[in-house]
Structure 1
Amino acid sequence: MPSKLQTSIVKKVQEALTPLLLSSPKLKIEVINALKEELTKISPIHDPVDKIQWVPANKIHSNDYNPNTVAPPEMRLLTHSIMMDGYTQPIVVFQEGEKYIVVDGFHRYRVGTENKKIRTRIQGYLPVVVIDKPISDRMASTIRHNRARGKHGVKPMSEVVGDLIRAGWADSRIAKELGMEADEVLRLKQRKGLPDLFKDQDFSRAWVEEKLFAPLKELKSKSPDQF
């Protein structure tokens, strides 16, 4: 049973919101977002999802480092899902002034801007949660989201690893934050092919032979005709 305090607060809020019933969608959304801002201040939970905002889609922009790609059939399925079920996951963004940069949810963003029926239904807005992190941490967040879904691209991933190393991240931190094994970090550095990515590391001849040539030797022993 709701307490007297709860009943009193809810009643006062309902009365205060009554004048909005005939207001424009834009004003309603602005008030709803402002109320969420105030509610977050007293909320005992401080995860980003506790404050989902509706933001004009034209203020949201893609990032330039996302290695995730979605095949056309999966994109059609995502569109159908949002068409039938609505948005059940917000887009994760970083705010830069009036702009919002996508950290995770680029394809959900695409659906909401490219599909006319969905765009009309949500009146040109998109649901977002804002995270406040430096660029290297945002890149890591993007990769974690992608890898958790089993989706990432090898070539762009090597670029991300290179950027993180230049930002001062150690291999061990990259492996931990991106959910990788040490060997995977090494392979991506090799794929990138930049000497400066290895400048602070000391590799013995035996270590290099084990890591670089062992897989090749194993493949050769299984398929000698290919060599």
Structure 2
Amino acid sequence: MERSFISPVYNIRRVSIEKIRANTYNPNVTAPPELALLERSILEDGYTMPIVCYYNELEDTYEIVDGFHRYLVMKSSELIAKRENYSLPVSVINKSLENRIASTIRHNRARGTHSLELMKKIIQQLVDSGLSDQWIIKNIGMDKEELLRLKQLNGLASLFKDKDFSRSWEIDESL
């Protein structure tokens, strides 16, 4: 194992948002509900992961390799930008353009997805702890329909106790 390599995450820089640029090759998109959840996460928890960038010494700018949406949240939220003093945490990788493109794709594809079984257990745990549907929807970033589906998949009557969740209609017998 090579001892001279040190992962970039051990050398985080505080970089002005004005020096950071989006790349032109990121195929990743985030839907508005997930972007809103990311903003809420940053509001509640702060920036917990650095933006990964390539430093362009000639232009004195940082090109994003991973973290575009965290950058976008700061650009669109004055509250967050002001709180963070208009700076982002950045880890720098020094790679050729081709290798930066590959890195961007690896970062995007390595994110994974949520397990349905684990999400069902999480919802059950949150409901069992007494949290309201409104709390779950707001803090987990779900809509009412998604929460309802997860509750239905759990099949536990306790998840629906004292809840009016039926959207069924009644037949008018007078017809």
List alignment gaps of at least 5 residues for structure 1: 1-43, 152-227
List alignment gaps of at least 5 residues for structure 2: 114-175
Aligned residues: 109
| Correspondences of 1:18-97 after superposition (within 5 Å) | 46-97=6-57
Distance 2:63 2:5 in 1: 24
In the other structure, the counterpart of 1:101 is 63
Quick one: higher RCO (CA 8 Å, sep 6+), 1 or 2? 2
Which residue type is aligned with residue 135 of structure 1? L
Which residue type is aligned with residue 54 of structure 2? F
Aligned residues: CA RMSD: 1.8
| Correspondences of 1:1-227 after superposition (within 5 Å) | 46-97=6-57, 98-150=60-112
Q: TM-score, normalised by structure 2?
A: 0.60
Which residue type is aligned with residue 146 of structure 1? N
Distance 2:92 2:39 in 1: 23
Distance 1:110 1:69 in 2: 12
Q: Any idea what SS the aligned residue of 1:69 has?
A: coil
Shift of 1:46: 1.2
Which one has the largest radius of gyration? 1
Task: Output one character per residue of 1:104-153: Cα deviation in whole Å (capped at 9) or x when no partner.
Answer: 000001112210110000011111000000000000000000001249xx
> Percent same amino acid among aligned pairs?
51
Shift of 1:74: 0.2
Bigger helix share:
1
Shift of 1:50: 0.2
Q: TM-score, normalised by structure 1?
A: 0.46
Distance 1:45 1:68 in 2: 29
Distance 2:86 2:24 in 1: 23
Task: Output one character per residue of 1:156-209: Cα deviation in whole Å (capped at 9) or x when no partner.
Answer: xxxxxxxxxxxxxxxxxxxxxxxxxxxxxxxxxxxxxxxxxxxxxxxxxxxxxx
